[in-house]
Amino acid sequence: MSKLVYIQAIVKETLRLYPATPLSRPHEFNQYSIIDGYYVPKGTRLITNLWKIQTDPKMWPDDLLRFKPERFLTTHKDVDVRGQHFELVLFGSGRRACPRLDFGIQMVQFTLASFLHAFQVSTISGNAPIDMTESFGLTNVKATPLEVLIKPRLSHKLYG
């Protein structure tokens, strides 16, 4: 997987644009704080809009809403998903980061690579773009069903 850098870029870009949960889970301040000049009292609950951060034009100035995995091979190649780069916080950060982050990312990359290796994928309507509109809620879900044709690259006897 370490040599499949474009697969890694595809996964990062997909999760940047379509995070599994666009809002972080609530965090409670255990002492008063001042953030950017604002007084935040102890006991305040904070829910961070991760999707907004990951589509901030200051952080992603070029085509921020366009699916462009190449940005993780050039301008954002050093950005990783482990919570150290706050423009891409997919699984939390610090002590509150997801403990299975590495396993989850590896499995997504492996599954995508295996799928693309085994199948040819095309749209039903030829070259028409796929509608990627999502519905709003606690998780990101496509508003319309995905309609694609999947054809095995090898003989069906090899997929037993």
* Beta carbons within 8 Å of 122's beta carbon, 6+ residues apart: 148, 149, 151
Q: Read off the pLDDT of each residue in 68-95 and give the average, rounded to a whole number.
A: 81
The pLDDT confidence band at residue 108, using thresholds 50, 70 and 90, is very high
pLDDT bracket for residue 70 (50, 70, 90) = very high
pLDDT of 134 > 70? The answer is yes
Pairing between strand 38-40 and 33-35? antiparallel
Residue set of the binding site for heme: 98
- 160 pLDDT more than 70: no
Known binding-site positions: 98
pLDDT in tens, 19-52: 877 888 888 899 999 988 999 999 999 888 888 8
Strand locations in the chain (E):
27-28, 33-35, 38-40, 45-46, 119-123, 134-135, 141-142, 148-152
